[in-house]
Amino acid sequence: MIDRYTQNKKAGNLLVLIVASLIIGGIVGSLDSLFGQVLLAVSGAREQNVQYLLPFLAPAGMIFTYLFITYGKNASQGMTLVFRVGHEKESVIPKRLIPFVMVGTWLTHLFGGSAGREGVAVQLGATVSNWVGRYAGRGSQSSLFLATGMAAGFAGLFQTPIAAIFFALEVLVIGSFKYEALLSSTIAAFTASAVAGKLGLEAFTVALNSPVQLNGTTLLKLAVAGVVFGLTGLLFAASLNRTKQYLAARISHPVVRIGIIGVIASCLLFIMYQGRYSGLGTNLIDASFSAGTIYSYDWLLKLLLTVLTISAGFQGGEVTPLFSIGASLGMVLSQVVGLPPALTAAMGYAAVFGSATNTFLAPIFIGAEVFGFHYTPYFFIVCTAAYLCNMNKSIYPQQKQGIR
């Protein structure tokens, strides 16, 4: 009798988890599609009117930050709150976080800030999953549901469900996987990706045609490239964390801080090729894979301006700029290591992201999903070298230090 009761209870819990994961994936995929498509429209409007919009970056940031702090309350902690829930130091992510981070990121991109978008996807996924988990009476499993939502958010926006699953499982604690969330994360990630795709959000993929024999010489070249990409991810993560700390210490009020730094950022963004380094950085990614113009310093300027934008307090994320930094650096590095430019750009696309986020499997699979699974051995070698060179730094300072 007890065994049957226990089995029935386990089956019931499993059913609840599966249904909840499907609901999370569906809701998050829909929100990702809405957010992503509006963001594309906003970015297009900025590109056509950058000289008129860049001067308003600071005022827009100040107004939004004031409203977010005043009415968003603890939701204004953003990713910090997400990680605190993941580490079970907090239990609730307020639903008002979703509209605030979506609107805030749209404003950042409309007025020319250099930022990404994954921060929104992860936060809205975490918020939805936190709400669904508590509604289903699974408040004690908050960290499990959080990982599920993070996977759904990442998968829906980037259309890379396998990478999203591993990102959610490994990002909370360095060197440790949250295996108990594997099933729910898988269901939610593939559901969110499918829903977002059906609603019109297109996946970014590149068909590489860079045949390279995987011999000893190639292995050495890939390892060297991985070291460079790893150090670049380290540079980004360390610069971001130190700049945030420095600006917070020197200009303590967030509204004043975003105003002052916003003026500096908008001036620099305009002077440097009138907005070439504004937005996500997809222009640099496209140029890297379509024989466009890539300058030897593109990756560095994009890195510095993204660090400045995010450190000031503008909403967005870092991942897509990391993709663009890695891809444009790869184009330059290919001439040094003697590998095909498109292949090296693809390696940089994945490896710089992995190094800066202190994740290992996620970048390997994002490379495979975007550029082709037959290149997985190449991504494995480059991302391994990059991961070993990042000195345990991360753009997410709330990551717990596990075994590495």
The residue extents of the domains of the chain are 2-198, 216-401
- Predicted confidence (pLDDT) per residue in 356-390, tens digit: 999 999 999 999 999 999 999 999 999 999 999 99
Domains 2-198 and 216-401 belong to one CATH topology: yes
- Structure confidence at residue 63 as a pLDDT band (50, 70, 90): very high
CATH class of 216-401: mainly alpha
User: Does the pLDDT of residue 25 top 80, yes or no?
Assistant: yes
User: Does the pLDDT of residue 2 top 60, yes or no?
Assistant: no
**What's the pLDDT score for residue 7?**
73
What is the average pLDDT across 228-247?
98
**What's the pLDDT score for residue 178?**
80
| CATH classification for the domain delimited by 2-198, as one of 3.40.1390.10, 3.40.50.300, 1.20.1260.10, 1.10.3080.10 | 1.10.3080.10
- Predicted confidence (pLDDT) per residue in 89-140, tens digit: 888 999 999 999 999 999 999 999 999 998 899 999 999 999 999 888 776 5
- pTM of the entire predicted model: 0.95
Percent of the chain with pLDDT over 70: 97
- Structure confidence at residue 402 as a pLDDT band (50, 70, 90): low
Nearest-Å Rg of the Cα atoms of the chain is 21
User: Which residues have CB under 8 Å from 161's CB, separation 6+?
Assistant: 151, 155, 186, 189, 190, 192, 193, 369
**What's the pLDDT score for residue 29?**
98
**Strand pairing report for 173-174 and 400-401:** parallel
**What's the pLDDT score for residue 139?**
60
Helix, strand, coil percentages (3-state) for the chain, rounded to 5, are 75, 0, 25
**What's the pLDDT score for residue 88?**
83
CA–CA distance, 275 with 129 (Å, rounded to integer): 36
**What's the pLDDT score for residue 387?**
96
- Predicted confidence (pLDDT) per residue in 268-301, tens digit: 999 999 999 999 999 999 999 998 999 999 999 9
Instruction: Determine the angle formed by the axes of helices 319-337 and 216-250, rounding to 10 degrees.
Output: 140
CA–CA distance, 15 with 22 (Å, rounded to integer): 11
What is the average pLDDT across 322-346?
97
What is the average pLDDT across 183-208?
96
- Structure confidence at residue 142 as a pLDDT band (50, 70, 90): confident
- Structure confidence at residue 191 as a pLDDT band (50, 70, 90): very high
Residue 396, CA distances (Å) to 132, 172, 175, 188, 308 in order? 25, 9, 14, 23, 16
**What's the pLDDT score for residue 203?**
92
What is the average pLDDT across 204-229?
94
**What's the pLDDT score for residue 309?**
98
Q: If you average pLDDT over every residue of the chain, what do you get?
A: 94
**What's the pLDDT score for residue 135?**
86
What is the average pLDDT across 146-173?
95
Residue 391, CA distances (Å) to 15, 80, 358 in order? 41, 22, 9
Helix (H) or strand (E) holding 136: none
- Predicted confidence (pLDDT) per residue in 32-60, tens digit: 999 999 999 999 999 999 999 999 999 99
280: three-class secondary structure by DSSP: coil
User: Does the pLDDT of residue 1 top 70, yes or no?
Assistant: no
